[in-house]
Amino acid sequence: MGCATGIVGILVPRILILYGWATDPTAWSSAFSSQLWPILGFVFLPWTTFFFVIFSNASAGFDLFRLLIMAVAVMADLGTWGIGGLATRKQVSNYRS
């Protein structure tokens, strides 16, 4: 089950980013001043990048609710990176002893 969660956590946000960029490239170019940030976001923090583009183009700006969603997106990205270590911690600790 951990493997399926990891695969979903890796693929789904990147597919959403590619779909969002393909359907509305002007929103993506207006959200970032450089092409480097969306590329780095695609590789390292895809959920955060996706929600940043959605919220940066909104007329209301960043309010408390949107900042909360951004915090959850950062935690989801960090959780995707750390799920492999969490899932195998017992196996690694048994291997060392």
Q: What is the pLDDT of residues 1-58, one digit of tens each?
A: 667 877 787 899 999 999 999 999 999 999 998 999 999 999 999 999 999 999 887 7
| Separation of alpha carbons 84 and 11, rounded Å | 15
Using CB atoms within 10 Å of the CB of residue 1, give its burial: 0 to 12 exposed, 13 to 18 middle, 19+ buried. exposed
pLDDT at residue 10 in the model = 84
pLDDT at residue 46 in the model = 95
| Separation of alpha carbons 50 and 58, rounded Å | 13
The confidence band for 93, taking pLDDT boundaries of 50, 70 and 90, is low
pLDDT at residue 62 in the model = 75
| Separation of alpha carbons 20 and 12, rounded Å | 12
The confidence band for 90, taking pLDDT boundaries of 50, 70 and 90, is low
pLDDT at residue 96 in the model = 53
Higher pLDDT, 87 or 18: 18
Using CB atoms within 10 Å of the CB of residue 89, give its burial: 0 to 12 exposed, 13 to 18 middle, 19+ buried. exposed
| Separation of alpha carbons 74 and 55, rounded Å | 14
